[in-house]
Every structure is written in structure tokens, then in C-alpha cells.
Amino acid sequence: MTILIVIVVIVVVLGLMAIGTYNRLVALRQNTNEAFADIDVQLKQRLDLVPNLVETVKGYAGHERGTLDEVTQARAAAASAGTVDSKIAAENALSASLGRLMAVAEAYPDLKANANFMNLQSQLSDIENKLAAARRYFNNAVREFNASIQAFPAVLFAAAMGFQPREFFDLGADRAAAASAPQVKF
């Protein structure tokens, strides 16, 4: 009889541990989803701002057609990205093309003095700062989630319950391109 009670207690304790671990993993997965949704909000604001910025620059630097087209195409790709990985890649390409657009703008003193451009540039800078903070928060949430599904006892059943590691929001292969200053040629 004592052995049966011990077995029941062990099963109950293991069951409670499994339920607690599962609930923690669900909460962490929701946290990563929420963190990515915050990034998505900032990305949407940036996508809404880009056409105004391109049109303002176009009025001053019409012969910089390649750069303007590149920004427009990158924005379209970012807007149509469906998966997290494709969204990350498209947003990294958009960030790089926006950097080149700002470098072009530096070459036009009249444009730099334009109040509309200055306002748009300020808004873009603000969004980029918020986006950087949202990315850091997302990456922290992903780190915590990934560590939790790889830690004992969750590692025993996390994969079987559908918990897969998440990818960080990283520059990846575009890191070198983003780190180097864009070249402006006339």
C-alpha cells in the first residue's frame, strides 16, 4: 500500500511539473509573438513613411532614380513579406536602401534644409530607434523561450508538444552591407 501511495505521489508531482512547464512555455511563446507584433507595428509605421520620404527626395534629386527605385522596391518587398524570415530579410534590405537614400540626401543642401524632409527624417529616426528597441525586446524574448525549451525538464517533451526554437531578428548575411557606409556617386 505504501508503494502505491509513493507511485501516485510521484505521478502527481510529475504531472504537475509537466503542466507547469507546458504553461510556462506557452506564456513564453506568447511573449515572443507579442514582441514580434511590436516590431510589426514599427515596421508598418516605417512602411507608411517611406513613400513620403521618397517623394520629397525625388523633388530635389530626380536624377538619383536608381536609389529611389531601390527604396520603392524594397518597401514593396517588405510590405508583401509573409513569414517571419522573409519579413526579416525584406526589412533588412529596406533598412540598407534607406541608408543609401539618406546618403543621397546628404549631397543636396537644399533638401537637407527642407522642413518637410527634416520632419520626415526625424520621424524615420524616431521609428528606427523604436524599432531597434523592439528588436532587442524580441530577441530577449526569443532567447528566454529558446533557453526554456532546451532546459530540463522541458527538453524532454517540448518538441513533442510543438515548441520549436525561434529565430532571432538578426541582420544575418546583410550585416556587412549594413555596417559599411553607402557610396554616393555623381
Instruction: Read off the CATH number of the domain in which 76 is found.
Output: 1.20.1440.20
pLDDT confidence of residue 25: 95
Asked whether residue 67 is domain-assigned, the answer is yes
pLDDT confidence of residue 63: 57
Asked whether residue 54 is domain-assigned, the answer is yes
Residue 82 C-alpha cell reads as 509573409
pLDDT confidence of residue 54: 77
pLDDT confidence of residue 120: 80
Asked whether residue 5 is domain-assigned, the answer is no
Q: What is the span of the domain harbouring residue 67?
A: 25-178
Asked whether residue 38 is domain-assigned, the answer is yes
By C-alpha distance, which of 138, 122, 175 is closest to 29? 138
pLDDT confidence of residue 185: 40
pLDDT confidence of residue 101: 80
Show the low-confidence residues of the chain (pLDDT under 70).
60-65, 111-113, 171-186
Asked whether residue 103 is domain-assigned, the answer is yes
Asked whether residue 43 is domain-assigned, the answer is yes
Q: How much is the pTM?
A: 0.69
pLDDT confidence of residue 95: 85
pLDDT confidence of residue 186: 33
Q: 162: left (phi > 0), else alpha (psi -120 to 50), else beta?
A: left
For the chain, the domain total comes to 1
How far is residue 32 CA from its own chain's centroid? 11
pLDDT confidence of residue 177: 47
